Homo-oligomer: A and B are copies of this chain.
Amino acid sequence: MEIIERIKDMQAYSQDLRVEGKVISFVPTMGYLHEGHLSLMKEGRKRADVLVVSVFVNPTQFGPKEDLAKYPRDFDRDRSMMETVGVDVVFAPTVEEMYPDGYQTYVEVDEVTKNLCGMARAGHFRGVATVCAKLFHCVLPHIALFGRKDFQQLRVIERMVKDMNMDVGIIGMPIVREPDGMAMSSRNEYLNPKERKAALCLVKAITACRELFDNGERRVGALLDRAVGVVMNEETARIDYIRLAHTETLNDLVGVVWEKALLALAVYIGSTRLIDNTVLGEEFEKC
C-alpha cells in the first residue's frame, strides 16, 4: 500500500494508470475509519483495478463553531484497516497542500444544498463540493463511492459531477449500522456510554416511521409526527431537523407521500450532532 502526500505525485500516478488502461476507483474519507468506510472500499476494490482512498480532514466543510479541531484522527489505525481491504494507494495531503496561501476558488451547488443540513451548516456543502472537485482532479478516478448516511452529500456530489461534466461515476452505498441499529459514524466516538444509548432514538424513529409507512400511512404529517415523537421521548436529544423530503431534489414533501420519501434526521445528543436517514418505499439496510 502506497502513501502519497503530494498532489503532483498523485496525478502522475493516476495518469500513468489511465494510459495503461487501468480502472481507478476512489473512496474519499476524513479518516477515523469504520465499517461504513470499509464497505465502500470493498465495493471499490471489486469494481476496479486500482483502489485509491483519500484521508483528509477538510477544513472548508466545517463551520467556525464546528468540530474541526477535535475531529478524531488516527492515521496508524486507519492504515491498518485500509491494508485489510486491499487499498492500493492512500492519498493523504496536508491542509497546506490542498489550500495553499492565496487559495480562493469554491464550487457551489445551489438548490440541492438548500434544505436539511444545508440550512443548519452554512458553507458545509460548498466545502464538500470544493474538496471533492479537487480530489477528483488529483485522483482522476473512473468511479467514486459515497455512503448514503450522508444522503444529501451524495446528492450534492452527483449533481456537481453531472453539472460540471466530470467523467466520474458516482456510486451511493447503503448505510452500515451497528448490531443495535446505530448508523456508523466517526462522530459516534464523541458519545459517552449514556449518550450512545440515547443516540439510538434516531434509528428507533426511523424504524417506527417505516413501520407506519409499511402499514399504509402516507400522510406526511402523521409520518413525521411518529418520528418526532420517538426522538422527543429521549430527554437528552435535541432535534435539529426531522424532515420528509423528495429523494432527488431534497425539497420538503407536503401532503402525502406518493411513492418514495427520504426521512432525514439531524439530532443533537449532548453536544454531538448526529444524522441518519432512510428512504421510505425502499428496503431497510440490514444491521
Contacts and interface: CB of A to CB of B under 8 A. Distances in A.
Contact of A133 (B19, B109, B164): B164
Interface centre among A7, A109, A163 (most CB of B within 10 A): A163
Number of copies: 2
A163 B110 contact: no
A214 interface: no
- Chain A contact residues (Cβ within 8 angstroms of B): what range? 20 to 34
A163 B129 contact: no
Contacts of A219: none
A84 interface: no
A159 interface: yes
A138 interface: yes
Given A7-B165, A164-B137, A165-B134, A129 B105 contact: yes
A137 B110 contact: no
Contact of A105 (B104, B160, B167): B160
A110 B102 CA distance: 10
Contact of A106 (B102, B110, B165): B110
A18 interface: yes
Contacts of A165: 7, 11, 134, 137-138
Contact of A110 (B19, B104, B109): B104
A103 interface: yes
A103 B163 contact: yes
Interface in A38-95: none
A160 B107 CA distance: 10
Nearest to A126: B108
A246 to B, nearest CB: 12
A107 B110 contact: no
A127 to B, nearest CB: 13
A264 to B, nearest CB: 19
Interface of A: 7, 11, 15, 18-19, 21, 102-112, 129, 133-134, 137-138, 159-160, 163-167
Given A104-B111, A105-B129, 19 more contacts: A11-B165, A11-B167, A18-B19, A19-B21, A102-B111, A104-B110, A104-B159, A105-B108, A105-B109, A105-B110, A105-B164, A106-B110, A107-B107, A107-B164, A134-B163, A134-B164, A134-B165, A137-B165, A137-B166
